[in-house]
Structure 1
């Protein structure tokens, strides 16, 4: 049963159903959580001690590995879906789900993020209220609250970037939430920033586990993760000065460093600021999306789809790599599809940031240090600071490219945008979101659309809201352009 925005399934509170099944044998190892009880727990008893509070919060992180845009279903993974929707990926099989997204033909039935994020916002808000109201002795209260505020900010961040103005949900009370109107984008960012400041003030400097103990695992956010997401939120809201300040704090933190291209996505690499681990031992989802054991040469009638690979790197992404860029050989993989009948042989490139078929060698990495350098570069460029190109060149040097020093602000911002396109391709919607926030989406997509082939209209920048949620909330308005 889906968590719709109106939360009718939650009317029986104060019983909270702890999600995810809840007794996962691998959870302790991969999320550093507690032993999770199964079933449901009365809300008044949930937060009576650290073990119980940790159970709820750990369950939220388990949900992220399945939902929140980081799941293993190709239809729910943000990097995969938004890479197809924009200009990073190309579908390899006509008519399937990936092809529908690729051709920008989404409907509300393809837009499950709305219900997923609002369902998880309910859980985060219930945790925040329960932990704040707890009369128990919570030694690690700040950690549990900081993690919940971090997640609430994360969910609102993806909602506002996918749907435009959205309701800001700060309570688990469905009678309140079921009457909320959409808030302006600027107000959503104010809330995101407020939550991240709280998380920043509460989370420890070190990475900690579900027992509050220090750990080498980076799958729960620390202060650095809250700071990194805060830097992004300031950048997206146009607060260049604070974006620079927060990115500088992360860059100066000795817990983080750029690493060799081949090591960036390894579990707990020093470039990782925050990672998402699966609930049980498994290979990274992105390996399956773009590799799946597909050989370097394919003989028809087999094709990429024979290996459950339904998306390749787009031609214009491949074209945008500079000669000598080591990311081209390290993060792209070429497959030759042999000639068949009148069809000549062709070379197709696939994302290859995740290379290992082995379990838990690589984790999904939504926050990493390279982005912080590019955030600071853009923030400095927008302030006309002369040191902006230095941050850009840190990333170029790692890729084996020569330093650049564009002669004016326009050229510098264009160089930063191109570098971000190459560095963060197919990673959690960066390209789509950047095109939207910089006003370049229509320009780019109208050039790309005929090659899909598709038709691009400006309203497609914001995804459709489920009609049932609009019907159940008299104050919720739809995004224009979509059939309701």
Structure 2
């Protein structure tokens, strides 16, 4: 793996400048107050007080909305990209990056996120070392460390699910990192678990801002956020009892509850376990991706592309909704293009989980309570527990659907998978990761491929590693199927 931030850079420019440069206009949402002081000092002096430590950590949150998965560009947003890559969305414009992703044609030189996550891992590793080694008495040391362990776990969660086995870089020593081979996925997951357990033990039960003060804002993780991500990780690992226990801890927490469909993504809703705010005051990025002022009726020759909207909901997702599912009307938006000339009337559907054009009215919500019910339902089903359907029915009830009690374990797991498809669509890769972890990816994508049109091949389950990193690291092997 190429260490993109060199040792010389670290010494001369300083970590504080690197992270502080990311603390832009929107950082007030993470701080709940005036911006922290910014400047450039030597890396060894970064952690002399809580304000400076907080600035480094806040910089990592800000970078989440730049290039690390929750960005406002369609090429830097995991939910958008992975909806196209699988069977949730379809492209409306040929030739752009979204269309390349839709056709499962990502090339080595185009692979997103790899470099962004390893850059952020460098910052996280430096922060962990710097905070631990700081001679200063940091009042909120546990918070800064807990948040950093949480973020490092998150970065590795996405890396291992997008790329398969990946190098485990846990230090800032580029001479070591530049020669790391790929660690088995099991080892990566073990590290994620270790980091999340540390985050659980260090983060407060309530939400805190960038000054360590209690806040109603849920844009920095608390201990329950670490627990929620750990529940997901255990589910992916097949540790059913542990996944159930962690999900139960979140579900039983009085800070959280399910809310009506129209309020799920409102900033700091009670369903939110952890959210990501835009980097500047704006509407939620998903509102721009799928709405952007596009009217309910588009007069030809205009189409969605005229409003910079380049993907629609796929037929596969539309067909997954049961009759009477309120999410179909509440979380999907219908746009009609009247007949013109030889062209018949077109009816298109777009994700509409985010509805407001107002600044900061809605946030991205990578961790929310409904997922925890579905995690616990699946974990209980895998343990043959009779109460698994109860959790499934909590989510179904909110959607206006009748309770079910499937007669067999297979039928129950199928019902849970379908519920995950219709509840979590377009949210940060759930569908892609679910298909991979349950062994259904090849089956589903082979059936979908002709409509794209493309040819699905099994190697596409893992994305290509950038060739520059492979060239600079003699121990880093490429993923099969891609050019070096």
Taking structure 1 as the reference length, what is the TM-score of the superposition? Answer: 0.97
Classify 1:20/1:324 alpha carbon distance in 2 versus 1 (closer, same or farther; 3 Å).
farther
SS in structure 2 of the partner of residue 334 of structure 1: strand
Runs of 4+, deviation exceeding 6 Å: none
Matches within 5 A, 1:205-216: 205-216=205-216
Rate the CA distance shift 1:349–1:22 in 2: closer, same or farther, 3 A.
closer
What is residue 250 of structure 1 aligned with on the other side?
250
| CA distance, structure 2, for counterparts of residue 287 and residue 272 of structure 1 | 18
Q: Give distance in 2, aligned partners of 1:25 and 1:7.
A: 26
Match of 1:341 in 2: 341
Q: What's the RMSD between the two structures over aligned residues? A: 1.3
Q: Aligned-pair distance for 1:154?
A: 0.1
1:31–1:277: 8 Å Cα contact kept in structure 2?
no
Distance 2:26 2:481 in 1: 44
Q: Deviations over 1:386-438 (max 9, x none)?
A: 00000000000000000000011111000000000000000000000000000
Corresponding residue number in structure 2 for 1:180: 180
Distance 1:25 1:233 in 2: 33
Contact 2:23 2:58 in 1 (8 A): no
Normalized against structure 2, the TM-score is what? Answer: 0.97
* 329-338 or 22-31, larger mean C-alpha shift: 22-31
Q: Does 1:7 align with 2:7?
A: no
Residues 132-147 of structure 1: matches in 2 within 5 Å? 132-147=132-147
Contact 1:22 1:39 in 2 (8 A): no
Aligned partner of residue 70 in structure 2, secondary structure: coil
Which string of whole-angstrom CA distances, capped at 9 and with x for unpartnered residues, describes residues 31-53 of structure 1? Answer: 43763344432112111111111
CA contact (8 A) 2:219 2:276 kept: yes
Gaps of 5+ in 1: none
Provide, for residues 306-330 of structure 1, a one-character-per-residue CA deviation record: whole Å limited to 9, x for no partner. 0000000001101110000000000
**What are the Cα deviations for residues 195-217 of structure 1, in whole angstroms up to 9, with x where unaligned?**
00000000000000011010000
Secondary structure at 1:90 match in 2: strand
Residues 118-165 of structure 1: CA distance to partner in whole angstroms, max 9, x if unpaired?
A: 000000000000000010010100000000000000000000000000
Distance 2:157 2:23 in 1: 30
CA distance in 1, matches of 2:247, 2:400: 23
Cα deviation, residue 334, structure 1: 0.4
State the partner residue of 1:476: 476
Q: State how far apart, in whole Å, the 2-side matches of 1:207 and 1:457 are.
A: 44
2:336, 2:345 within 8 Å by CA — same for their partners in 1?
yes
Relative to structure 1, the CA distance from residue 324 to residue 31 in structure 2 (aligned partners, 3 Å threshold; closer, same or farther) is farther
Question: Which secondary structure state, in structure 2, belongs to the residue aligned with residue 18 of structure 1?
Answer: helix
What 5-or-longer segments of structure 2 have no aligned partner? none
Aligned to 1:84: 84
Q: Is the 8 A contact 1:5 1:119 kept in 2?
A: no
User: Any idea what the Cα deviations from partners look like across 1:431-469, whole Å, max 9, x if unmatched?
Assistant: 000000000000000000001111000000000000000
Q: Deviations over 1:352-410 (max 9, x none)?
A: 00000110000000000000000000000000000000000000000000000001111
What is aligned with 1:330?
Answer: 330
Q: Give the secondary structure class of the aligned counterpart of 2:65.
A: helix
1:150-299 to 2 correspondences below 5 Å: 150-299=150-299
Match of 1:68? 68
Cα offsets for 1:60-98 (capped at 9, x unmatched): 111112222100010110000000000000011122221
Q: What is the distance in 2 between the residues matched to 1:10 and 1:40? A: 17
Local SS of the residue matching 2:335: strand
Greater CA drift, 396-405 or 272-281: 272-281
Between the two proteins, the alignment pairs up a number of residues equal to 481
